[in-house]
Structures are given as C-alpha cells and as structure tokens.
Structure 1
Amino acid sequence: MRVFLASIPMDDARVVVVGDGEAALAKLRLFGKTPADLVWFAPNGAPTGPGALQGGPEAIVRVPTAEDLRGARLVFVAVDDADLAVELAALARAAGAQVNVVDRPALSDFHTPALIDRDEVVIGVATGGSAPILARDVRSRIEAVLPAGLTQVAKLARDLRETVIASVPDFMARRRFWEKAFRGPAADLAASGRPAEARREMLRLLNVAAPEQGVVHIVGAGPGDPELLTLKALRVLQDADVIIHDKLVPEAILDRARRDAHRLYVGKSRSNHSVPQDQIETLMVEEARKGQRVVRLKGGDPFVFGRGGEELEAMRRAGVPVFVVPGITAALGCAASAGIPLTHRDHAQSVTFVTAQEKPGGVAPDWSRLAGPNQTLAIYMGAGRAAETAARLIEAGRDPQTPVAIVENGSRPDERVINGALADLGDLVARAHLTGPALLFVGECAAFSAAELDVRAELVA
C-alpha cells in the first residue's frame, strides 16, 4: 500500500482554498457540501460569468498571510505561479495544516482521491497522484453498483449507534448484529425511503440479539490466483473471525480476507508438518466453541488431497456446525493456465488425479491401471518421488517417451512450465530446483503446454 486514505471529520474543520481558476472552484464545490469552515482566497478576484461559483464562501481578494492560515486543517493551493505555490505551501505547513498543491504531487502532503460522495458514506479511490484519470474511471465503476439508498442506511445506523452499544456491549456480538442489520430487511427498508419501518426492524433485531454459535467453513482457495476464488469463498473470507490457513495459500488470497481476522498458520510441507493434523482439528473446534466464525482455508479444493474429509468428520463428531466451500482444484487450475487439456477426443478419454504420497502403511497406487493408454495423470505432491513414479509407470507398461509437464506455481504470476518425456521426469524435476507447489502431468495432452510455450516464444520474437 503506497498511500493511506484517512477519514477526516469535517465538522468545524477549517479548510482554506487559495486560487481563482477552475481547480480552486472544484475544491470549493467539493467542500461546500461539508460542514467545514470554508475560507477562500482569490488573489486575482472571483471569476464571473457562467463559470462563477454558485453559493459558497465570499472570496477574499488577496494572498493569505501566515495568520490567515493559522488553525487550518487542510489547505489547497491552486495558483499558477510556481514560486507562490511553494511559498504558500511552506506558510501553511508552518501553521500546522496539511497541504495539497493542485497538480503538483511533489509539493503536496496529501492528494485528493476520486470520491464517491453519498453524504454519510464516502468512498475514495487513490493512485498516489500518479494516475488521477484511472482513479476516476475506477470510481465510476464502483458508483454504478452502489444502491441509491445507501445514505439512508448509514443515517439509520448513526442514529442507533449509541443504543446498540448500550444494548450489546460485546464487540463481536455487536459486529454481528450490524452485519445482520445491513444485509437484511432493515437495510432494504431504509434504502427504499421507509425509515420508520427500518428503525422498527433494527430495534426488533436488537431485542433478539444473542451470542451466536461458532461455525466452521472448510474453504478451497483454488490454485493461487485470487481471481479464481469463488464468490462464496470470498464472502466467507470477508466474514471470518479466524482464518486457519495452509502453506499453499498465497498472500494475495489472504489479502482478500477481512483485515482484522485472526490468522493462524498451520502450513505443511513434505517431512515438515508444523502443526499435526489432529492439533489442527482441535484448534478448529476450540475456536468455533468460542463463538468464532472459523475459515479453514486450504489450497485447491479441500476434498481433493486436502484432508478436508477428515476435518469434516472431526467437526461433526465435536458437534460443531460445518460447511464446505469447494475450490478450483490445483489440477484444473494449473492445467488450464498451462494450456493442458486434461481430456481430448484424440489423446485422452479419461483423467485421473493421484497423489504420490500415500498414507504410511496405506495402499500403494495401482500402477498397472495408472499406466494405461489414452488418459492423463495429474500427480499431486509428486516432485519428491518423480523418478520413482516414472520408473513404476514405465515398468507397468507406459511408453518412456510419453509427454510430461511440470507446472510450478500454476495460475500465479511466477508460474513455470517444464516439458519433457516420462523417462526423464526425475532429471527434469532435479534440474528445475522447484521451490513452489508443483503438479506433474503425464500423458499425450501434456505436450499441449509445450506448443503453447512455443507460440509465446514466437510472439515475443
């Protein structure tokens, strides 16, 4: 985050605008809608005619002095003379004000964001002064989806704020009350211009407000690209009190969660389980029993080699309400990103997801079935046993020249695809020095990724 958007109360705040051009008038129109104490200095006099300011403060026709700027919270300098702008900015800072020199970001303490002004609700979009037109375009897109009655909902919340604090002293319970209120009939009634009915509905909710039972959501985060999160996964993440996440969940996805959610890392890698599975399940139960909304966030899909089934059983045994939110499993996401069709009428009539890391003491894979022709194998957790896996498949009858693809960090910005033949799979993995999560694809369809890489190389050339 290169810039921080602060919310500054405007009640009785002294705001000074210096200038007489359109930039100055734009700032006067903006702050004329606020309860601020607005002061205008127009060194060349107020403009007249069609471009004149309608309403607002009377222009003071001179350059302000240091005394004029004393006590100002914000000062906007919109003058053409660069030397005068520097002088006025220094005077304003010396008086304790934050300064914005219009169209001169280097001279400014802050920049004016593109604003969506709905009275009680104000949304800002900022680019640090580098791309104001882009900020305006983003603002327009956001504004188009906001309900027209948003202001009325916020006003109702302001009117009832102290009543809610007194009635629901617990912070978490209070937050859940507001979430119910803003997502239910009370908000709809307020937005449609029926404040009395909306108030009654809010008070009804308040009278029945009680501590909620905790709940667990086992959520698939997908292969890593945050835009591949499902809408339901995103909603659950933004409602979570506690997020228990794996190593395979990148920061880009965690950034989509509610900022103040408590994050607990329980990552696992081969031969290094930072938190054993039974302790993870115990942690999920404990947090839910505190009344928390727990998200168990797992890379890919929780029910595809994610031990989500074990966690689901553990929650049910403990009597904890539990829900599953599926995700795009790694095989689908990585294959699509690398251009590997998992099935193809000419090459693969089936696809098999298999893990190279079977449970200790468990049943070994049926290599004769996995080595069959006309199928694609998507091998999870296979990098550490790539040479052994290739040997077993070849021994079971798979052609040593069968195409293979290694997809590391699939769907992410640092994705890497390595192609070769089954006989060389172990060497390919060794030479690749993999550091991120990787899937192995075996079958004729794996060659499609090599063709995609060739096309990209030709386009670059």
Structure 2
Amino acid sequence: MDIFPISLKLKQQICLIVGGGSIAYRKAVLLSQAGAVLHIVAPQIDEQLQQLVKTHQGELFFDVFKPTVLEQPYRLVIAATDQPNVNRHVFEECEARNLLVNSVDDIPHCRFMVPAIVDRAPLLISIASNGTSPVLSRQIRTQLETLIPHGMGKLAKFSGQWRKQVKAHIPNPEQRRIFWEDLYASSLKEQVFNDNLDAANLLIEQALQTWQTPKGEVYLVGAGPGDPELLTLKALRLMQQADVVIYDRLVSEPILNLCRRDAERVYVGKARSNHAVPQEGINALLVEYAQQGKRVCRLKGGDPFIFGRGGEEIQELVDANVTFQVVPGITAASGCSAYAGIPLTHRDYAQSVRFLTGHLKEGSPELPWKELVYENQTLVLYMGLVGLETISQKLIEHGQRPTMPIALISKGTTPEQKVVVGTLADIASKVIEHEIQAPTLTIIGEVVNLREKLKWQ
C-alpha cells in the first residue's frame, strides 16, 4: 500500500487553494461540499469560483502566492495553478510547516491525493491510484456508481440512529458486527430504501429482542488454483465475514488479501515432510474456534474434496456437532490445464480423465499401474513432482510407450506459471533443467500435444 487512505472532517475548517482557474474551481467544489471554509489566492480569479467562495463565507485574495499567506492555520492546501514552479513553491513551503498539501497533477509534490468519489452521504467511497492513473480511478468510480444503490446513504444514516442502542444491547463488538451483518442480509435494506421507516424500526426492534449469542460455524472454502478471479462469489462472501481464516500453503497471497482485513489468520501449511500443523491439529483448531462462537473460514487451495482432506475435517466437525458449509473450488486439474491450453478430454485423443495423487509412500507411489496404461485417457497427478521419475518408469514398465506426452504446470494460473512439455522418457531430466518447483501439476496423455495450438497464457 503506497498511500494511507483517510477521510478528513473539514466542516468549518479553513482550507487554502492557490489558483483561480477551472482546476481550482473543481477542487473548490469538492471542499465546499465537505463543509470547508475556502480561501483563494491568485492574481486573477474566475467569476464562478468567486461566487462559490462568497456563498460559503470564504475569502478571496487577489495576489500572487507568498509564504506569509501560510501564517493562517490552514487545515490543508491545494496548489492548482498552471505554473509548475508556483505549485512546487507552495509544496515546499507547506512541507516546511507540516501542512497537508496537494499539487494538482504533480505527484512528486503531493502529500495527499484527492480520490475519485462515490457519494452516498453519509456513506462515502473513494478510489485512488496514487496519482498514476486518475482516468482509471474515474472509470472504476463509474462502475461503482451503477452497482451501489443511492439508498445506501439512507441505510447508513438509519443505522447511525440505532448504533448507540444496539451497542448498549450487544456490548461485544464481534457479536455486534454479526448482528449488523445479519440485519443487512434481511429485508431491512429494502424497507429503508423505500422510506418505510416504521417497518424498518420495527424490524430492528424485533431483531434486538430475539438476539442470541451466535454459535460458531466453519466454512470449508475452496480457494482455487491461485488466480483470485477464479474464486466463486460464495467463497468471497464467506471469506469477507469470517472471524478467523485458517489457510494452507497453496493459498496465494492475492487470495488471502481478499479475506476480511481484521480477521485472525492462522497458517497451517503443509509441504512435503514439513507440516506447520499436523492434520489432527488442524481438525482440532476448527472445532476449538467454532466452539468459541467464531465464524471460521478454512481456506484450502483448489477444491477441498479433491486431495484436500476436506472430508476428514468435516468428519471431525460432525462428531463435535459444529455447523459447517462447504464451498467447492476450481480444482488444480481444471484450472491449471485450462491456463496451459491443455484440454483434459478431447473427442479425438481422450475420452476419460483420471485424477491421481503422486505422493510417495515408503519410496514408491501406490497406483493401479495396469489401469493407467490406456491410450485414450488423460492422467492428472497432484503432488507428483518428487516421485515423477519413479512414476514415469513404472508406467513404461507396465506397457506405456516412452514417447507418451507429459506436461508439468508449475504455479498454474498465477503470474509465475511455468509449463514444461516432454515425454515419459525425458521429463525427469527437464525438471532440473527448467528448475520446476512445487506446487506442480502433471498431465500425461495425447492431449498435451494440443498445447502449442491452444495455449493462450
């Protein structure tokens, strides 16, 4: 995060704008809407800007900028002239006095940025790009304008009127947050949007009367193979409302950052022969947090029910009588193969696909080798990088041709995705040559040959 977002209360605060043209006018409109008292300094000041300042009991100074102007106790200053040397001078003088200063369209000489704004007063949404792309910020603002009902301002105001009473009835802040979340998921929004305030007041009164301490719950959420845009809508919603997020090694940082910002995070990642928390410990953690009344998001890479041990975790929750939800995710086989341009099935090459785990047990994977040696099927191996050479040899020993195509997809669907294609005979040597790292998915079958034609990443 390059800048720290804040919302300033400027009502009745004196703010200075240096400049008297159209740019200064645009900034003056925003500041006046926030209730600021405006002072304008410029040799010439547009008539429209003069009228705005007079309407809001501000002051006009028809003069060039001089440092003595800053002897006034200004809350913030905006340099909005068309002269870069003047704007720079304003910035330097403000910096010397620890005054918040913005030089319009001059990033190096800004102590704060003016964001694009979606105004649903008292609800306010700001979008900032640290000055790098104001047009993009405005486009995002336009998109948000269409998504956020104008009634949200009414809802914010209505909620504020009940805030003190709700706080007195539910002193615990975590429980109070759940109360409001549940309330916003009810018909309250529509009642307020339609100005049915009597019905809305009755609804919130009934909700307070029937309020009970919430029970804990576990959300078993599939985070997909890495690209955050592959998350389901339900996954994102539950990630945003969870009190605790228990996540594994395969959950990418961009996905983790979509979880509720103030949620407690617990890492339980497992790499080969290096388990941060054993599976039994993870199961116990889920139960423990839920029994404390927490809403727990168990965030797992891929899909929790495909080599994710989600079934074991749910068994533990059932035994402990803990409520849970399961949110499927895009499994690595589907996501990584698509991003690599390799269809898992194809009418001309593969009429079946098998998902297998390549984990070694006592030095060798336990797989039904004879069933796997079939020309028109695709094999997908999870966690098979370490045992890849052994797996390739076993398939060849049981009759598979050494020239069968094979693809390794490392860190699939992420910006670091790497795809290496070879054959059963030579793929092991390519792991070292191309420095392939886990997590890596292995695809074996004729469909691999379609990659050159179909790849899009």
Q: TM-score, normalised by structure 2?
A: 0.93
Inter-partner Cα distance in structure 2 for 1:22 and 1:3: 27
Q: Which of 381, 385, 388 in structure 2 is aligned with 1:386? A: 388
Number of equivalenced pairs: 454
1:22 deviation in Å?
Answer: 0.8
- Which residue does the alignment assign to 2:346? 344
- Which residue does the alignment assign to 1:41? 40
Inter-partner Cα distance in structure 1 for 2:220 and 2:260: 16
Superposition map of 1:10-21 within 5 A: 10-21=10-21
1:359 deviation in Å?
Answer: 6.4
> Is the Cα–Cα contact under 8 Å of residues 358 and 365 in structure 2 kept in the other structure?
no
- Which residue does the alignment assign to 2:204? 202
> Is the Cα–Cα contact under 8 Å of residues 388 and 428 in structure 2 kept in the other structure?
yes
- Which residue does the alignment assign to 1:86? 88
Which amino acid in the other structure matches residue 353 of structure 2? Answer: V
Inter-partner Cα distance in structure 2 for 1:301 and 1:283: 20
Judged with a 3 Å threshold, the aligned counterparts in structure 2 of structure 1 residues 411 and 213 are, in CA distance, closer, same or farther, namely same
> Is the Cα–Cα contact under 8 Å of residues 365 and 391 in structure 2 kept in the other structure?
no
Q: Which of 62, 69, 72 in structure 2 is aligned with 1:70? A: 72
1:17 deviation in Å?
Answer: 2.2
Inter-partner Cα distance in structure 1 for 2:452 and 2:219: 38
1:62 deviation in Å?
Answer: 2.7
- Which residue does the alignment assign to 1:29? 29
- Which residue does the alignment assign to 1:240? 242
1:391 deviation in Å?
Answer: 1.3
Judged with a 3 Å threshold, the aligned counterparts in structure 2 of structure 1 residues 14 and 201 are, in CA distance, closer, same or farther, namely farther
1:19 deviation in Å?
Answer: 2.0
Inter-partner Cα distance in structure 1 for 2:344 and 2:165: 58
Q: Provide Cα deviations, 1:174-200, integer angstroms capped at 9, x if missing partner.
A: 111111222222222112222332222
More displaced 10-residue stretch of structure 1: 193-202 or 206-215: 193-202
Q: CA RMSD in A?
A: 2.3
Judged with a 3 Å threshold, the aligned counterparts in structure 2 of structure 1 residues 265 and 383 are, in CA distance, closer, same or farther, namely same
Aligned residue for 1:39, secondary structure, equals strand
- Which residue does the alignment assign to 2:437? 435
Which amino acid in the other structure matches residue 21 of structure 1? Answer: G
Which amino acid in the other structure matches residue 263 of structure 1? Answer: R
Aligned residue for 1:71, secondary structure, equals coil
Once the two structures are aligned, what percentage of the paired residues are identical?
39
> Is the Cα–Cα contact under 8 Å of residues 386 and 429 in structure 1 kept in the other structure?
no
Inter-partner Cα distance in structure 2 for 1:391 and 1:361: 14
Inter-partner Cα distance in structure 2 for 1:371 and 1:14: 79
Aligned residue for 1:423, secondary structure, equals coil
> Is the Cα–Cα contact under 8 Å of residues 409 and 441 in structure 2 kept in the other structure?
yes
> Is the Cα–Cα contact under 8 Å of residues 405 and 449 in structure 1 kept in the other structure?
no
> Is the Cα–Cα contact under 8 Å of residues 89 and 99 in structure 1 kept in the other structure?
yes
> Is the Cα–Cα contact under 8 Å of residues 268 and 282 in structure 2 kept in the other structure?
yes
Inter-partner Cα distance in structure 2 for 1:103 and 1:225: 34
Judged with a 3 Å threshold, the aligned counterparts in structure 2 of structure 1 residues 400 and 244 are, in CA distance, closer, same or farther, namely same
Q: Provide Cα deviations, 1:335-369, integer angstroms capped at 9, x if missing partner.
A: 00001110111110100001122667999321100
More displaced 10-residue stretch of structure 1: 393-402 or 225-234: 393-402
1:324 deviation in Å?
Answer: 0.8
Aligned residue for 1:179, secondary structure, equals helix
Superposition map of 1:4-403 within 5 A: 4-36=4-36, 38-48=37-47, 53=52, 55-63=55-63, 66=68, 69-357=71-359, 364-403=366-405
Judged with a 3 Å threshold, the aligned counterparts in structure 2 of structure 1 residues 86 and 358 are, in CA distance, closer, same or farther, namely closer
Q: Which of 415, 421, 424 in structure 1 is aligned with 2:423? A: 421
Judged with a 3 Å threshold, the aligned counterparts in structure 2 of structure 1 residues 435 and 244 are, in CA distance, closer, same or farther, namely same
> Is the Cα–Cα contact under 8 Å of residues 41 and 60 in structure 2 kept in the other structure?
yes
Q: TM-score, normalised by structure 1?
A: 0.93
1:93 deviation in Å?
Answer: 4.2
Inter-partner Cα distance in structure 1 for 2:354 and 2:147: 42
Which consecutive unaligned segments of at least 5 residues does structure 1 have?
A: 457-461
